[in-house]
Amino acid sequence: MSESLPTNDIIAILVVGSSLAILGYFGWKTLITSNLYQQGVKLYQAKDYQGAEAAFRKVIAINSTNDVVRLLLGDILNQKGQIEEAKELFCEVISRSPKNADAYLRLANVLMQQEKPAEARTNLQQAKELFQKQRNPQKAQQLEQILQEISKL
């Protein structure tokens, strides 16, 4: 006598199978992203900016919400003299994550390179306030000193 599986069992098998497939996909995606990120960091440290840029762009293509990689890519572009592109990336990070003090710092650096000290001061002030709120008084104090030096210019 052959009994068929009840409908509930079939649905449960399909749900578990689908969940395992999705979990496998995200695990694979995370592994690839992590490897590319590590490769990009190593290339960046070795000052291979072309290679690091390619690796970080691949990470962003896989995971478009990774702000750390966007900041590193912005640093690379700034090193390569692509200041406007770097500025756009830093602005994107700020718009996506307005409490990211590092993005304000990097943007201020670019603005100083573009000889826009007033805008740079505004971003440094924002970074300083964020570092204070994030209980990082050392960085806040360093920024206060930089702000004082800029005011003398």
Neighbour-count burial for 57-96, b at 16+ CB within 10 Å, e otherwise: ebbbeeeeebbebbbbbbbbbbeeeebebbbebbeebbee
- DSSP H or E stretch at residue 64: none
Distance CA 66, CA 61 (A): 10
- Chain centroid offset of residue 4 CA: 52
Triad 132, 99, 72: Cα angle to 5°:
105
25 — pLDDT class (breaks 50, 70, 90) = low
- Identify the band that residue 84 occupies on the pLDDT scale cut at 50, 70 and 90: very high
Confidence label for 3 from pLDDT (cuts 50, 70 and 90): low
- At residue 98, the 3 state secondary structure works out as coil
pLDDT band with cut points at 50, 70 and 90 for residue 2: very low
Q: What is the pLDDT of residue 1?
A: 42
| Per-position b or e across 17-50, b if 16+ CB within 10 A of its CB | eeeeeeeeeeeeeeeebeebbebbeebbeeeebe
Global pTM value: 0.75
